Amino acid sequence: EMTREKERGLGMALIFFCFCFFLCNRNRLKASREVESVDLPHCHLIKGIEAGSEDIDILPNGLAFFSVGLKFPGLHSFAPDKPGGILMMDLKEEKPRARELRISRGFDLASFNPHGISTFIDNDDTVYLFVVNHPEFKNTVEIFKFEEAENSLLHLKTVKHELLPSVNDITAVGPAHFYATNDHYFSDPFLKYLETYLNLHWANVVYYSPNEVKVVAEGFDSANGINISPDDKYIYVADILAHEIHVLEKHTNMNLTQLKVLELDTLVDNLSIDPSSGDIWVGCHPNGQKLFVYDPNNPPSSEVLRIQNILSEKPTVTTVYANNGSVLQGSSVASVYDGKLLIGTLYHRALYCEL
């Protein structure tokens, strides 16, 4: 079991490598980019989220799940010794509050380190929550059943697979079926660094089911957020270091073929889909260098993009929110529901806005 000293040593080594990486990769990190503020009039920070809400997923009934407390080698953390968790907020309440969900016995809460999340509603209305987990910096996908009456999660299954060496995000397509992004080909931290430094483009997307596991798309710089269109025909993948969103067509055998790539001027993280319009909402990092080398006097900024008609010749890209870090640092996700916008971050606070 990795001790705290080893973890910190690993973190320091990665920070050193990051500095070398930054010198050679300023453009991939948008290292000189600053943002101009775009404010929304009705926003407040969500109470109880102080150490990151890396991903957010909202059910059709307005229940929002937050993945909180992610710890990652070389990344800042405001609560390095506190395990992560899953919070829930009912957006239909007049003044919604974030509450922590209880997790069933037998699941190792002490090492819970949640990253990307995704929900799936079965034909019998059972709600499944899929969570990318990094216990002791390993890679698993945890499948839970959401029990609304008890405000709890029943742990059903832990998925580990050699084709899932560095999982970042998932989109669920069945009760035990999902697409996942690997942001690196390797799982070893040093080899990951080398892969990024050498710009190998070995990151990929994997389809997982109990019967079949396969790579379905590859050649990404660093595959990050992933989601599915409301009609289930297209998979969207964010390539964070290439500043791109890939549109992939989904086939009956679950394979994917690339249709188009949308280039943006920012580091795109998680993707959320507005089920009514099909619009893509993106949590972005305007300046990746500030994200990785944390300076409280010059914190990472936040940016939320809304992409309309991504399949058209000229999609409409709108900056809905931008902040220099004075309010919100390191936005990683933006999700909408009925005129409400939730913005989560890699290791900072979370914002609730009325649009």
Q: Tokens in use for 267?
A: 């580091």
pLDDT of residue 102: 97
pLDDT in tens, 92-146: 999 999 999 999 999 999 999 999 999 999 999 999 999 999 999 999 999 999 9
pLDDT for 2 equals 52
How many domains in the chain?
1
Q: Residue holding tokens 């890679």? A: 139
DSSP string, 261-292: EEE-SSEEEEEEE-TTT--EEEEEES-HHHHH
In a domain, 173, yes or no: yes
Q: Is residue 177 part of a domain?
A: yes
What pLDDT does residue 74 have? 81
Q: State the catalytic residue, choosing from 76, 115, 184, 243.
A: 115
Q: Are 247 and 309 in contact (CB under 8 A)?
A: no
Q: Distance between CA atoms of 300 and 219, rounded to whole angstroms? A: 28
Which pLDDT score, from 0 to 100, does residue 26 have?
A: 79
Which domain, by its residues, includes 192?
31-354
pLDDT of residue 16: 66
The CATH number of whichever domain residue 65 belongs to comes to: 2.120.10.30
Assigned domain for 18 exists: no
Would you state the pLDDT for residue 73?
Answer: 82
Note the pLDDT tens digit of each residue in 24-36. 677 889 988 999 9
Tokens standing for 245? 């969103």
Contact 344, 36 (CB under 8 A): no
Q: Is 184 a catalytic residue?
A: no
Q: Is residue 9 part of a domain?
A: no
| Residue 62 domain flag | yes
Is the residue at 221 inside a domain?
Answer: yes
pLDDT of residue 4: 65
Residue 14 located in a structural domain: no
Residues 6 or more apart from 344 whose CB is under 8 A from it?
A: 49, 52, 53, 54, 55, 56, 66, 67, 270, 283, 331, 332, 333, 334, 335, 350
Binding site for Ca(2+): which residues? 54-55, 117, 168-169, 224, 269-270
Q: Quick check: is 155 in a domain?
A: yes
State the amino acid at position 217 in one-letter form: A
Give residue 129's pLDDT: 98
Low-confidence stretches of the chain (pLDDT beneath 50) = none
